[in-house]
Amino acid sequence: MTRRDKTPTPGSRQREIDRLEKDVEELRHLGGSADGEAELERIRQQVAELRREFYEHLGPWQRAQIARHPQRPYTLDIIGLLFTDFVELHGDRGYGDDKAIVAGLAKFHGRPVAVVGHQKGRDTKQRLVRNFGQPKPEGYRKALRVMKLAAKYGRPIFTFIDTQGAYPGLDAEERGQAEAIALNLREMARLPVPIIVTVTGEGGSGGALAIAVGDRVNILENSFYSVISPEGCAAIMWRDSTKAETAAVALKITATDLKELGIVDEIVPEPEAGAHTDYEAAAKLLDTVLDRQLVMLTNESVKDLLDARYRKFRNMGQYFDVA
């Protein structure tokens, strides 16, 4: 049986792609002969075909791994590519400045806006500073302070979601983690300006939702959004975190699942091998969606905007009135 007759696992297929990309790089350095150029082009086409097949058939668990990729574009990367004149605002004016959330004022296509988003770190030092992208109460209060400032001056708000969830530590609970999240949900529901939300990586539970109540909720193609992580769900349901892949399927966490369930409004396509491979291409694809949505939302009256936002979140999920 040949190698192509076997059904490769996602990990083996990724290793095969990596091996071929290494061959391409070596041949590119060698160069020279016509035969060498022909072989280089053949391998390039093979890599492109394998990559396309790989990303077309990813399961929920594999997409979750891509969403968590350490080179995934974070909020500050997106701000640098899509916004101009960004001024970061710090602190909640009550306790301190939580660096797990970035918030500030900027311009989008020349229009004044506010930007809020989770920020992870790429190395150990940055991850500790950013608390692994897990906000504490002061982070949510900072976000709300900036969003209220935006509302006061009629600035639309963009938020970018990428967090495992709110920080579950004792100090966060002592300072009112649950209250801070609940307050954000209530206040965002009635801010009189357009709010556009984009899940760029992982959207974890209330820690994500606390800055994700908006008029439009987008999700990048390989991102996910869930009430709990697959590992956490597996640990609760089966007392076995190794069943995370099974949990990922059951939780319906992928962009396609979420669109079908009405949780998100639009899926933003990514470059062929994922947003982490080409920031600029990913930003262009996202820019098109955000610009179109902002134009549509700014043409709506405040009353229509708030009514539609309320209905949008009120209609999510299923419940039964036993009365």
The pLDDT tens digits of the residues spanning 144-201 come to 999 999 999 999 999 999 999 999 999 999 999 999 999 999 999 999 999 999 999 9
Find residue 220's DSSP bridge partners. 268
User: Which residues have a Cβ under 8 Å from the Cβ of 201 and sit 6 or more positions away?
Assistant: 67, 68, 72, 74, 118, 120, 161, 162, 163, 220, 223
The lowest-confidence range among 22-26, 114-118, 134-138, 141-145 is 22-26
The lowest-confidence range among 19-28, 37-46, 124-133 is 19-28
Give dist(CA 196, CA 191) in Å, integer: 12
The lowest-confidence range among 32-36, 50-54, 153-157, 162-166 is 32-36
- Report whether 157 contacts 196 (CB < 8 A): yes
Nearest to 69 by CA among 266, 213, 271: 271
- Report whether 255 contacts 224 (CB < 8 A): yes
Supply the pLDDT for residue 27: 58
Length of the chain: 323
Say if residue 229's pLDDT is above 70: yes
Supply the pLDDT for residue 274: 85
Burial of 167 (0-12, 13-18, 19+ CB in 10 A): buried
Nearest to 159 by CA among 174, 146, 177, 175: 146
Strand-strand pairing, 266-268 and 216-220: parallel
Supply the pLDDT for residue 242: 87
Supply the pLDDT for residue 24: 60
Nearest to 204 by CA among 238, 173, 181: 181
Q: Nearest 10 degrees: CA dihedral of 166, 167, 170, 172? A: -70
Find residue 87's DSSP bridge partners. 105
Copy the structure tokens of residue 28.
């590119």
Say if residue 4's pLDDT is above 60: no
Q: 241: part of which helix (H) or strand (E)?
A: none
Query: What angle is formed at CA 256 by the lines to CA 254 and CA 260, rounded to 5 degrees?
Result: 115
